[in-house]
Chains A and B, each alone.
Chain A
Amino acid sequence: MSDSPIAVEQHGPELLHHFVDAEQQRDAASLGMWLFLATEIMFFGGMFCAYLIYRFWYYNEFAAGSRSLDIWLGTINTAVLICSSLTVALGVRAAQMGKRKLLVVLLLLTIVFGFAFLGIKGVEWYDKYKEHHIPGRSFNASDLEKPPYSNGGIDQQHEQIYFSLYFAMTGLHALHMIIGVGIFVFLTFYAWKGRYTPKYYTPIEMGGLYWHFVDIVWIYLFPLLYLIDRKPLR
Chain B
Amino acid sequence: MSEHIMSGKFYYTIWIVLLCLTVITAAVSFVDLGPFNTIVALVIATFKALLVVLFFMHVKYTSEKLTKIVIVSAIFWLFLLLALSMADYATRLLS
Please report which residues of chain B, range 24-38, place their CB below 8 angstroms from some CB of chain A when the two chains form the complex: 25-26, 29-33, 37-38
Q: Which residues of B contact A89 (CB under 8 A)?
A: 11, 14, 55-56
* Stretch from A9-17, A38-46, A122-130, A158-166 at the B interface: A38-46
Q: Is the CB of A38 within 8 A of B71?
A: yes
Is the C-beta of A137 less than 8 angstroms from some C-beta in chain B?
Answer: no
Interface size on B, residues (CB 8 A): 52
A interface secondary structure, majority = helix
Q: Which residues of B contact A131 (CB under 8 A)?
A: none
B20 to chain A, nearest CB (A): 10
Given A82-B19, A93-B11; A212-B26 close (CB under 8 Å) = no
Q: Which residues of A contact B38 (CB under 8 A)?
A: 228
Q: Is the CB of A34 within 8 A of B71?
A: yes
Please report which residues of chain B, range 1-28, place their CB below 8 angstroms from some CB of chain A when the two chains form the complex: 1, 3, 5-6, 8, 11-12, 14-15, 18-19, 22-23, 25-26
B56 to chain A, nearest CB (A): 4
A205-B78 Cα distance, complex, nearest whole Å = 25
Is the C-beta of A56 less than 8 angstroms from some C-beta in chain B?
Answer: yes
A70-B2 Cα distance, complex, nearest whole Å = 41
Q: Is the CB of A42 within 8 A of B3?
A: no
A3 to chain B, nearest CB (A): 32
Is the C-beta of A19 less than 8 angstroms from some C-beta in chain B?
Answer: no
Can you name the residue of chain A whose Cβ is closest to the Cβ of B47?
A219
A52-B20 Cα distance, complex, nearest whole Å = 27
One digit per residue, 1 when the CB lies within 8 angstroms of any chain B CB and 0 when it does not, for chain A 196-216 equals 000000000100110011011
A205-B57 Cα distance, complex, nearest whole Å = 9
Q: Which residues of A contact B78 (CB under 8 A)?
A: 41-42, 45, 48
B85 to chain A, nearest CB (A): 5
Query: In which size bucket is the chain A interface?
Result: 35 or more
Given A35-B70, A90-B8, A216-B52; A41-B22 close (CB under 8 Å) = no
Q: Is the CB of B56 within 8 A of A88?
A: yes
Q: Is the CB of A215 within 8 A of B5?
A: no
Q: Is the CB of B1 within 8 A of A27?
A: yes
Determine which residue in B32, B56, B58, B81 has the highest number of CB atoms from chain A within 10 A of its CB, and name it. Answer: B56
A31-B63 Cα distance, complex, nearest whole Å = 11
Q: Which residues of A contact B1 (CB under 8 A)?
A: 26-27, 29-30, 205
Please report which residues of chain A, range 158-177, place their CB below 8 angstroms from some CB of chain B when the two chains form the complex: none
Q: Is the CB of B74 within 8 A of A96?
A: no
